[in-house]
Amino acid sequence: MACIGTPRLVSIIGAHHFSTSINQQFDEAQKRLQTLKASPGNEAKLKLYGLFKQATVGKVNTKRPGMTDFVGKAKWDAWNSLNSLSQEEAKNKYIEFVNSLVGPENSAESSAAPKSAAVGFEVSMDGKLRIIRINKPEKKNPFTLKMYLDFAQLLKDAAEDQNTTLVAVTGTGDYFSSGNDLTNFTSFSGSVSEAAEEGKRNLKIFVNSLIDFPKPVIGVVNGPALGIACTILGLMDAVYATDRGWFQTPFSALGQSPEACSSYTFPKLMGSLKANEMLLFNKKITAVEACKLGLVTEVFQDANFQSEVWPKIKEWSELPINSLVYSKQLSRQFDTEILHKVNDAECERLLERWQSEDCMEAIMKFFSKNSK
């Protein structure tokens, strides 16, 4: 089976309300962008500006600003880089990008998000589909220790909600998630051992919430997925990715070890030799490679990703809930106990790693490198 989805007419028509015109969708996208609560970051803002100008004006019709106008030059370059796009193509891409930032739907039903105190996430409902969106785009959607507990609570809420049939997890902006927020290692109070114990406890709860979640959970990987964001994909029931995404688990580079049951799921999915390249040797793989290895279900061209994935998942969310739950239960029944044991073992090893000298040296080396 091909790992790249075939473009369909739906991708040309748009991500939602297929009967509306491209101009209506473009106008709606501009309005929906105003509802974005967190800043998407300068890179995303420039992309939005360039697409908007190309969609409304066409090719650049002004001279490049002078050397001292840094903001003006950046905006002009963003616009000029898109001069090969027609205005209609630019409108489509603008709509797609807004979808990746805000969400694919614009109905009262989908905008009515379940109330949640979770920081770093946005939750919305589209019929019976619950969308959990990692929402810290300015930092590439990293996970803090508190977000582990918040995510577990969000899954608990979804499991208990009779109106939720299926859960999709995605990211805001250009990244699915950059993995652990490494400031977890520098911002803790108390002793190193106390911080390590807290990290172990939160991680264990987080991973167990995925192991035990009774309903289907689908990863909608809108960009790169690193570390914990990559390893949790092995616990999901389906994973769809844009071809712009890539995957990496840089454990040994940071003096750490596998988590989220990846020491079990990765060899099971892709074979031990290929799994070792990722888990031991920090290999970065493309979305297409991840699909061939079994970590990703299907890969879509980035331009069509949002418009093709969400209608498919929405359709599945209308399937009979008991059939979905019982089928998942049968397919996981012999793995659940093993996964819990693997999670326990991985968390114990990470407890040791986080307190080790080589781990701390690797983390400090990372911060030193990225501060230059």
The predicted-structure confidence for 328-337, as pLDDT tens digits, reads as follows 999 999 999 9
Q: Are strands 246-248 and 298-300 parallel, antiparallel or unpaired?
A: unpaired
CA distances from 235 to 96, 202, 266, 318 (A): 28, 17, 10, 22
CB neighbour list of residue 76: distance below 8 Å, 6 or more residues apart: 60, 62, 64, 65
Instruction: Give the position of tokens 């949640």.
Output: 116
Query: By the 8 A CB rule, do 125 and 109 touch?
Result: yes
Over residues 278-337, the pLDDT tens digits come to: 999 999 999 999 999 999 999 999 999 999 999 999 999 999 999 999 999 999 999 999
List strands edge to edge, sheet with 225-226: 225-226, 246-248, 285-286
Residue 370: its H or E element: helix 357-370
Helix, strand or coil, per DSSP, at residue 220 = strand
Rounded Cα distance between 304 and 7, Å, is: 7
Integer Cα distance of 366 and 137 in angstroms: 21
Shortest CA distance to 335 belongs to which of 245, 258, 237? 237
DSSP letters for 119-147: TTEEEEEETTEEEEEE--GGGTSPBPHHH
Topology (CATH level 3) of domain 19-102: Acyl-CoA Binding Protein (1.20.80)
Distance from C-alpha of 199 to C-alpha of 271, rounded to nearest angstrom: 29
Domain range annotation of the chain: 19-102, 108-363
**pLDDT value of residue 109:** 42
Say how far apart CA 98 and CA 77 lie, in whole Å.
Answer: 20
Nearest to 219 by CA among 154, 269, 170: 170
Q: What architecture (CATH level 2) is domain 108-363? A: Alpha-Beta Complex (3.90)
Question: Dihedrals φ, ψ of 166, to 5°?
Answer: -145, 145
Q: How far apart are the first and last CA of the chain?
A: 44
What are the pLDDT tens digits along the chain (372 aa)? 457 765 443 343 344 443 346 787 888 888 788 777 667 777 888 898 989 999 999 999 998 988 788 788 888 888 899 988 898 888 888 888 888 887 655 443 444 555 556 789 999 999 999 999 999 999 999 999 999 999 999 999 999 999 999 999 999 999 999 999 877 666 666 788 998 999 999 999 999 999 999 999 999 999 999 999 999 999 999 999 999 999 999 999 999 999 999 999 999 999 999 999 999 999 999 999 999 999 999 999 999 999 999 999 999 999 999 999 999 999 999 999 999 999 999 999 999 999 999 998 988 888 777 665
242 bridge partner residues: 300
Task: Give 344: exposed, middle or buried? Use CB within 10 Å, 0-12, 13-18, 19+.
Answer: middle
Q: Rounded to an integer, what distance in angstroms lies between the CA atom of residue 320 and that of residue 238?
A: 18
Question: What tens digit of pLDDT does each residue of 106-118 get?
Answer: 443 444 555 556 7
